[in-house]
Chain A
Amino acid sequence: MATLEIKNLHAKVDDQEILKGVNLTIEEGQTHAIMGPNGTGKSTLASVIMGHPRYDVTEGTITLDGVNVLDMSTDERARAGLFLAMQAPQEVPGVTNSDFIKTAMNARLDEGENVSLFKFIKKFDQAVEKLKMREDLPHRFLNDGFSGGEKKRNEILQMRMLEPAIAILDEIDSGLDIDALKTVGQNVTEMQDGKRSFMMITHYQRLLDYIKADYVHVMMQGRIVKSGTVDLVRSIDENGYDWIKEEVGIQDERVVPQNDDADEQTVLGSCATREAMEK
């Protein structure tokens, strides 16, 4: 379907640089896992690819099949084939899931054209069943009052409906119990059709038990410091990240160096960004 190429990407938030030269190429049909400790810029990378307005790209390029992604607005990027399953999906009361997804699907068609209602309902029902979600999902307001796990499954449901060329899954495994993880894993695996590409951000090796990845990258200090195959995950699982830090000569892996008492911080969300903003 498409190739995503990231070259020497630098990005900042509130004058604090978070990404410091990311290089990554995801070829058609490949699945890449991005791992690394908290606060190393993983989620920021996902947000920058999708065009979150808070981030400024200061250097480098992102291209999709050679076309400059950085020139596109967020919605143009989505219509060009990018999709981001977010770590903390927004709740939008008053907007039903079905209206939302229908509008998103129609946005991909020529002006005046609409998806057939029959096909839409059929596809939606099927996705609801595959993700083991509640049958009244289409009529519920978008993520409004959803549990953490429901929100995550709803992201994957949207991915099924929109069929992107390149899907970025930002910690899709956090907050999921083992059954839900299995369901999500099956759904993603089903969509790995050899053409669609994936970039999965995760802290845990267990996600890779359910979704097969071709390549694994480790991020530290806003860059990819080590790349390899799934074997790399096994080493991290057994030995932690310290050996990588030693290998590349890093003491504090975070983008924003922390003093000792900061270790007590709860670490959820776009940590590198949060840490930068708190400084």
Chain B
Amino acid sequence: MQVSPNNAPELIAPLLNEATYMLYISQGKIQSNTLPEGITITESTPKDALHANFVSDDPLVSHNQSNHDTAITLEVKEGITLDAPIMIMIDGSNYDYTVNITYDIHPRACIDIHEYLYSTSDHTLNYLSQTHVGEQAQVKLIGIANLDLMSTSSVQRLVRSQASSHTEVRTAQLGNGRTKQDVDMDLLGEHAYGEVRTVAVASGNQEVLINTHLEHKAKHTEGYIEHYGVAADESYLGFEGTGKIHKGMSQSNAHQSNNGVVLGEYARLDANPLLLIDEYDVEASHGAAIGRIDEEQLYYLMSRGLSENDAQRLIINGFLAPLKSMMENDVMRDHIQSLLANKTGR
């Protein structure tokens, strides 16, 4: 059956209808697309030359690169600037499948991509995206995952950034399924800027692993890793962040921060920030702050009449403020807030 935005599942239909440009993948194939001029779509893996950039020693990555049910390459022409983000909606319900999307962003293009991964069944979704950011291109890649309680998923995003490009990756794990998320970014050209910001909320007895790997392979590169997380109930949330500056890549900056709130007695949150530096002339920092909700803050808010739940909700929402930058429109904002309210059960 053909699925259009209008008969898409109730939860995601408004998001699709709100999107100016979108690509909707369900049941393992493209169901509809309203991509603008300047962006070409091919249903295949990238050409060999481009593919060479994404060779990885991660067995799961190589597996997903060669075994996939859907492979799409989106080519964004040189110098294109879009007036609205492109929404990539992937519904992983009812089938086990692997989706592989390559974004080939040519020099000086300026584009926002908004990926939404969704499922309502106990199937496995493997998602691999490969983004090639051309010289001086500006890319904002937002990835939100809302996957079913019984599902298992691996979400991998590889980013390869050329000289003077600017890439911001912002991801949110707001589903209930077992999830492993990897972001692997290489700054390949001088003066490339990369930022990976992740928000993850784990609840129930969910297990969520977030790996972020950012490598500086050129001089004068700048990289930021930020992890924000909440672990509630009996869940486990793990942050692994690595910033690596290769030998000779002087005048580079690598920074990392981890912030976590643990709710309840049995939840667990780990953060392992790593810096691997093989060059003297650099700036680098890393840190982690994990704790429970501050009792004094709670008391202060409650002394104004807020119930404990309301006070906690405000503090958590405030803590997860980086999510705000992922709310492109009111529909998305309401959507994210309701996901969050479900997750923290408050």
**Chain A contact residues, CB within 8 Å of chain B:** 50-53, 73-75, 77-79, 83-84, 86, 89-90, 92-95, 99-101, 103-104, 107-108, 141, 158, 162
The 8 A-B pairs with the shortest beta carbon distances in the complex, nearest first, are A94-B318, A78-B305, A90-B300, A95-B318, A104-B304, A75-B302, A74-B302, A94-B321
Chain A residues with CB below 8 A from B317, complex form: 94-95
Chain A residues with CB below 8 A from B303, complex form: 50-51, 74-75, 77-78, 83-84, 86
The reply to whether the CB of B307 lies closer than 8 angstroms to some CB of chain A is yes
- The contact sample of 20 A-B pairs, CB cut-off 8 A, is A53-B299, A75-B303, A75-B306, A78-B302, A78-B304, A79-B305, A84-B303, A89-B300, A90-B300, A92-B300, A92-B314, A94-B321, A95-B301, A100-B301, A100-B304, A100-B314, A103-B306, A104-B305, A107-B307, A162-B304
Q: Tell whether A73 pairs with B302 under 8 Å between CB atoms, given A94-B318, A95-B318.
A: yes
Q: How far is the CA of A54 from the CA of B243 in the complex (A)?
A: 42
Chain A residues with CB below 8 A from B300, complex form: 86, 89-90, 92
Chain B residues with CB below 8 A from A73, complex form: 302, 308
The reply to whether the CB of B315 lies closer than 8 angstroms to some CB of chain A is yes
Q: How many cross-chain pairs have Cβ atoms below 8 Å apart between A and B?
A: 74
Chain B residues with CB below 8 A from A100, complex form: 301, 304, 306, 314
- Residue of A79, A92, A108 with highest tally of chain B CB at under 10 A: A92
- Cβ distance B289 to chain A, nearest Cβ, rounded Å: 12
Interface positions, chain B 278-295, Cβ under 8 Å from A, are 294-295
Q: Tell whether A108 pairs with B315 under 8 Å between CB atoms, given A86-B300, A92-B297, A103-B310.
A: no
The reply to whether the CB of B95 lies closer than 8 angstroms to some CB of chain A is no
The reply to whether the CB of B319 lies closer than 8 angstroms to some CB of chain A is yes
Q: Of all chain A residues, which has the CB nearest B310? A: A103
Q: Tell whether A90 pairs with B305 under 8 Å between CB atoms, given A100-B314, A103-B310.
A: no
Q: How far is the CA of A75 from the CA of B304 in the complex (A)?
A: 7
Chain A residues with CB below 8 A from B314, complex form: 92, 95, 99-100, 103
Are B310 and A107 in touch, CB under 8 angstroms?
yes
The reply to whether the CB of B83 lies closer than 8 angstroms to some CB of chain A is no
Q: Which one, B299, B304, B307, B318, contacts A141 given CB within 8 A? A: B318
- Cβ distance A95 to chain B, nearest Cβ, rounded Å: 4
